[in-house]
């Protein structure tokens, strides 16, 4: 059980940006909900609208630190699941789900956001796809990351890479995630098997449930 001090110094913070429909923007403004949970059963949670939480910069340092340094720090990194497999932590998930100054890379359940990512794709210089590791000329301009866009067998069919890279349920499995979160060398990267994806899906569903529960409280 966590001590009261630990609960206070390491709260869970959830941020949700609400964008008004185009037909209502003249009368209603967009707003941001900020929920701070001190992981207590008492009345120690804070919810605000369009305001900063005192100490927010200190509490959310995980979003500003280099991801490569996080594994050696005192912040939550990978967690060991019941099958003895290391998978991403809730803190790591929040870093990607709530990036500062840009839109979230992860789009499960939000088709409009996924369309924005797909429509932003642009042909640029060649680099490794951040999902499969193969070379590609296409880059998601919202993420500023290279991702395969078209299937090798069809010029009109979207590549799985473009979808999987933006999928919450596959977070932690792709080329970029394995390199940054697991310190996997490029030459040692292997695409996830169906079994690995299925188990990761179960794990990520639990993190997503916690995230949306925190946001809605």
3-state helix/strand/coil string of 21-60: CHHHCCCCCCEEEEEEECCCCCCCCEEEECCCCCCHHHHC
Contact (CB, 8 A) for 139 and 121? yes
pTM attached to this predicted model? 0.64
Instruction: Tell me whether residue 71 is in a domain.
Output: no
Domain that holds residue 140: 78-216
Based on the domain organization, do 131 and 167 belong to the same domain? yes
Cα distance between residue 165 and residue 161, in whole Å: 6
pLDDT at 163 (0 to 100): 94
pLDDT at 29 (0 to 100): 72
Instruction: Tell me whether residue 73 is in a domain.
Output: no
Number of domains in the chain: 2
> Sign (positive/negative) of CA torsion 112, 105, 103, 51?
positive
pLDDT at 66 (0 to 100): 43
pLDDT at 155 (0 to 100): 55
Residues of the chain under the 70 pLDDT cut: 1-16, 20, 22-26, 28, 30-76, 151-158, 217
Instruction: Tell me whether residue 32 is in a domain.
Output: yes
- Reported as half-sphere exposure (CB side, CA atoms, 13 A), residue 73 has a value of 14
Pick the last residue of a domain from 25, 59, 93.
59
Cα distance between residue 100 and residue 73, in whole Å: 21
Instruction: Tell me whether residue 72 is in a domain.
Output: no
Q: Which segments of 33-75 does DSSP mark as H helices, in order?
A: 56-59, 67-70
Helix (H, G, I), strand (E, B) or coil at 188: helix
The structure tokens listed for 112 are 């409009």
Instruction: Tell me whether residue 69 is in a domain.
Output: no
Based on the domain organization, do 95 and 200 belong to the same domain? yes
The closest of 61, 85, 56 to 75, measured between CA atoms, is: 61
pLDDT at 35 (0 to 100): 62
Helix (H, G, I), strand (E, B) or coil at 154: strand
Based on the domain organization, do 53 and 157 belong to the same domain? no
Based on the domain organization, do 89 and 34 belong to the same domain? no
């Amino acid at each position: 059980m966590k001590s009261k001090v630990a609960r206070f110094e390491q709260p869970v913070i959830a941020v949700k940006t609400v964008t008004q429909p185009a037909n209502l923007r003249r009368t209603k403004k967009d707003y941001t909900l900020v929920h701070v949970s001190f992981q207590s059963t008492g009345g120690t949670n804070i919810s605000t609208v369009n305001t900063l939480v005192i100490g927010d910069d200190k509490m959310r340092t995980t979003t500003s630190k280099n991801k490569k340094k996080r594994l050696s720090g005192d912040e939550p990194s990978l967690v060991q699941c019941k099958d003895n497999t290391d998978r991403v932590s809730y803190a790591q998930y929040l870093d990607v789900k709530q990036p500062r100054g840009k839109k979230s890379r992860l789009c499960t359940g939000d088709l409009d956001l996924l369309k924005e990512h797909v429509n932003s794709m642009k042909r640029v210089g060649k680099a490794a796809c951040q999902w499969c590791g193969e070379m590609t000329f296409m880059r998601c301009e919202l993420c500023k990351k290279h991702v395969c866009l078209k299937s090798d067998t069809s010029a009109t069919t979207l590549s799985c890479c473009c979808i999987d890279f933006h999928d919450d349920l596959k977070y932690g499995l792709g080329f970029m995630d394995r390199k940054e979160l697991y310190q996997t060398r490029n030459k040692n990267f292997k695409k996830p098997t169906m079994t690995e994806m299925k188990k990761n899906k179960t794990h990520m569903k639990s993190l997503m449930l916690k995230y949306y529960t925190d946001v809605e409280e």
